[in-house]
Chains A and B, each alone.
Chain A
Amino acid sequence: MADQTFPIPGTLDAGRSRGAALLEWLHSWVVTVDHKKLGILYMVYALVFLLVAGSEAVAIRIQLAIPNNHFLSPELYNEFFTMHGTTMVFLVGMTFIFGFGNYFVPLMIGARDMAFPRLNAFSFWMTAFGGLFLYFSFIGGFGLYGMGSAPDVTWWAYAPLTAKAFSPGHNTDYWALALIVSGFGTLGAAINILATVFSMRCRGMTLLRMPLFVWLMVVTSGDTLIVITPLTAAQVMLIIDRYLGGHFFDTQAGGSATVWMHFFWIFGHPEVYVLILPAFGIASEVIQVFSRKAIFGYPAMVAASVGIAFVSLSVWAHHMFTIGMTSVSNAFFALSTMMVGIPTGIKIFNWVATMWGGRIRFATPMLFCTAFVFQFLMAGLTGIMLAVAPWDWQLHNSYFVIAHFHYTLTGSFVFCIFAAIYYWYPKITGRMLSEKLGKWHFWLFFIGFHVTFDTMHFLGILGMPRSIYTYQADRGWNTLNMIVSAGGIIQAIAVLILVWNMMDSFLHGAAAGNDPWDAWTLEWSVPSPPPAYNFATDPVVRSRRPLWDLKHPNDPDWKYER
């Protein structure tokens, strides 16, 4: 190999075939440690799984559209709703937030990369492997002979259903092992975000000058540290039970199924705050830019976010009111759950106060965020209803609960993610998304969302339980289920419009320039897409809106800001 020559950057590559160029391009994505490229990888990965899990949701809704339907087999139906939940939470939600976090946290705090670029790449590929492993279950094992061995034990995987006796084969193992692997990826990503924010800020970027999105990523990463790890621990116990003959959740030997519930929801409930907090951050950025006003009550927003993270750690057993806890526990968890409403209420008032008197521009990101504020309010109100233990005894495991958490996760989280896509796509690609298609996307998704999930509340009150394969025609649920399913189709069309918009605008969109929205945070001060080194010279910051200071040297924020 002594005579081997190595390519020198900048040499003539006229002789190179297109195949080789493509291979090199792909290779550059695999070996990259650049936070921007990894951020894009996270987001593309999340988007792909959004489509996959969305298709599963559509299949579920087709199955439930009419009574006594056999569109899916019962086994496949169980696999689909398990995989829909697991995918949406772990492969879509978590990866979207860490995708946006990866891309924008260093840019917003004036850093040139994350604190640990290689850990960053490692985290992404662990997460990616976890997701692919989870989906390999459809064809792995004896998959090709039947329906596959995809997890079919619901995404909360209650014991003793997961015991070897009741879940033979590898369905449960795929669920546990895939999430342990992706959990380590998530832990690495969270550690990286925290180290970046605490140790890599540019000069003058004090903690209380950081953009709210960065603050919320800090809070959410801190929560991730103590929330994802209990799930990993519980899943290790599950694997010990299944493979080493342990007895953690084995009620025959003195183990307890309730302990699994506690361990799962100690993870499971804060997890939804882990997802929704960065969505708050996105909304705070978008609403202030499109209302042309600095955010109302910045310190209160920060305090409320930290408050939500703390309170969220003490509410988990409101998922378990029906298992027969003591009345003291019921009262405690009912009250602590209602306490979440206080910091959340502060945030909603602050968003409304930011819009109040502003010159609002209803571009697509702002449309999504405006809808988010009101839908999140609704979600919070049904949340308080479910926090009342006697009310929960009636509606537990019904479609009312499904409607409630889809209001938070779709109506709030996904709406903010869509807002973020429209808001930051110009920065990432250098091209604007089509506003016309964006409006179509928004209105169709908005209408579809309300048709589906508003109706679901009534189904729940009429007593339709969750996770059922089908139902009898005389239960009085037929019309409502048909409406819910129709709304699901409308949402699917809206998401396809988004995908088309993203692909079409990537090739034909209008050039974005550095700062298409006339925004105020540091990521808009660099070209779109940003160069590999982010900032040619390290920025210096004197207020919360560094770009405003630059654009208005006669009236800078730092003169007034406390």
Chain B
Amino acid sequence: MSTIPIFADENWRLPSRGRVAMFCLIIGESAIFTIFVVAYVYYIGRSTYGPTPQILDVPVFNTICLLSSSISIMLAERAIDRGRIRNFGAWWGLTMLLGIVFLTGTAIEWKRLIFSDGLTIRTNLFGTTFYSLVGLHATHVIVGLLMLSLVMIFTLLGRVEQRHAERIQVLSLYWHFVDAVWVVVFTVVYLVGR
């Protein structure tokens, strides 16, 4: 029995609590999106009157903006990991800009749908499911932008340093999630459902 190993206690390392918590939040959020996506898919073509998904235009430019923001935030993460704060600020700002362009694109799309096509959330079942699913995603983009701008303010004030890299990466996880969800929403709403 003398060969029982004493536990390898010298390198007792545990995962970062921020990362674990953010992954958990993402799992929970995914469940919320799943329910809305399922509702959207189930109700495709079940509207008894009013506009149909054929009135939608595929938002290609919007999608390119949002997806490339994932790349720019990754470059920002890499920059702060190496301590290049100015680079970090530039990439971070670009990420925010791309997010804002995405939201503006959504706003223009919705304006057209509401005022030229007469589709609102109460018009018919398609309107209800479309605005709630795309709106749920847009809400997440807005929340993400609020958090990004908080970091941006601190960066401009010179308070962000290399030691904050991990927190920045945790926050970026959320942004990546918002982008990944858009892939699903885009596929379901604009490719499959149209």
Residue of A nearest to B2 (CB): A559
Interface residue A23 (Cβ < 8 Å from any Cβ of B): no
Q: Which applies to chain A's interface (DSSP): helix, strand, loop or mixed? A: helix
| Those of B1-39 within 8 Å (CB) of chain A | 1, 4, 6-7, 9, 12, 14-18, 20-21, 24-25, 27-32, 34-36, 39
The answer to whether B9 touches A230 (Cβ under 8 A) is no
| Those of B35-86 within 8 Å (CB) of chain A | 35-36, 39, 42-43, 46-49
Which of A195-203, A396-404, A454-462 participates in binding chain B?
A: A195-203
Residue of A nearest to B42 (CB): A259
Interface residue A246 (Cβ < 8 Å from any Cβ of B): yes
Q: A191-B24, A226-B28, A230-B32 are in contact. Are A116 and B39 (CB under 8 A)?
A: no
The answer to whether B27 touches A204 (Cβ under 8 A) is no
Residues on B with beta carbons closer than 8 Å to the beta carbon of A237: 36, 39, 132
The answer to whether A225 touches B31 (Cβ under 8 A) is yes
Q: A204-B9, A230-B31, A253-B48 are in contact. Are A244 and B14 (CB under 8 A)?
A: no
Residue of B nearest to A206 (CB): B7
User: How far, in whole Å, are A463 and B60 apart by their CA atoms in the complex?
Assistant: 60
User: How far, in whole Å, are A204 and B39 apart by their CA atoms in the complex?
Assistant: 46
Interface residue B122 (Cβ < 8 Å from any Cβ of A): yes
The answer to whether A247 touches B17 (Cβ under 8 A) is no
User: How far, in whole Å, are A230 and B121 apart by their CA atoms in the complex?
Assistant: 21
The answer to whether A240 touches B121 (Cβ under 8 A) is yes
User: How far, in whole Å, are A237 and B18 apart by their CA atoms in the complex?
Assistant: 31
Interface residue B155 (Cβ < 8 Å from any Cβ of A): no
| Those of A428-463 within 8 Å (CB) of chain B | none
Between B15, B21, B34, B129, the greatest number of chain A beta carbons within 10 A of the residue's beta carbon is seen for B21
Q: A115-B21, A246-B122 are in contact. Are A225 and B27 (CB under 8 A)?
A: yes
Number of interface residues of B (CB under 8 A): 38
User: How far, in whole Å, are A359 and B111 apart by their CA atoms in the complex?
Assistant: 75
The answer to whether A558 touches B4 (Cβ under 8 A) is yes
The answer to whether A542 touches B7 (Cβ under 8 A) is yes
Residue of B nearest to A198 (CB): B20
The answer to whether B14 touches A253 (Cβ under 8 A) is no
Interface residue B124 (Cβ < 8 Å from any Cβ of A): yes
The answer to whether B27 touches A559 (Cβ under 8 A) is no
B3, chain A: closest CB distance, angstroms? 11
Contact pick for A244, options B6, B21, B49, B121, CB 8 Å: B121
Interface residue B125 (Cβ < 8 Å from any Cβ of A): yes
Residues on A with beta carbons closer than 8 Å to the beta carbon of B122: 244-247
Residues on B with beta carbons closer than 8 Å to the beta carbon of A190: 24, 28
Interface residue B128 (Cβ < 8 Å from any Cβ of A): yes
The answer to whether B128 touches A246 (Cβ under 8 A) is yes
Contact pick for A195, options B6, B20, B47, CB 8 Å: B20
B86, chain A: closest CB distance, angstroms? 32
Residues on A with beta carbons closer than 8 Å to the beta carbon of B1: 559
User: How far, in whole Å, are A266 and B16 apart by their CA atoms in the complex?
Assistant: 31
Contact pick for A199, options B14, B35, B47, B129, CB 8 Å: B14
Residues on B with beta carbons closer than 8 Å to the beta carbon of A559: 1, 4
User: How far, in whole Å, are A97 and B20 apart by their CA atoms in the complex?
Assistant: 21
Which 7 A/B pairs are nearest by Cβ-Cβ distance? A245-B122, A199-B17, A233-B35, A246-B128, A229-B31, A115-B17, A195-B21
A–B complex contacts, Cβ < 8 Å, 17 sampled: A115-B17, A115-B20, A195-B24, A198-B14, A199-B14, A225-B31, A226-B31, A229-B28, A229-B31, A230-B32, A230-B35, A232-B32, A237-B36, A247-B125, A248-B125, A266-B35, A540-B9
**Chain A contacts to B: CB under 8 angstroms:** 115-116, 187, 190-192, 194-196, 198-201, 203-204, 206, 222, 225-230, 232-234, 236-237, 240-241, 244-248, 250, 253-256, 259, 263, 266, 540, 542, 558-559
Extra A-B contacts (16), CB below 8 Å, given A229-B29, A254-B125, A266-B35:
A190-B24, A191-B24, A194-B21, A195-B18, A196-B17, A199-B16, A201-B14, A206-B7, A228-B28, A230-B31, A230-B34, A240-B128, A247-B122, A247-B124, A255-B46, A256-B43
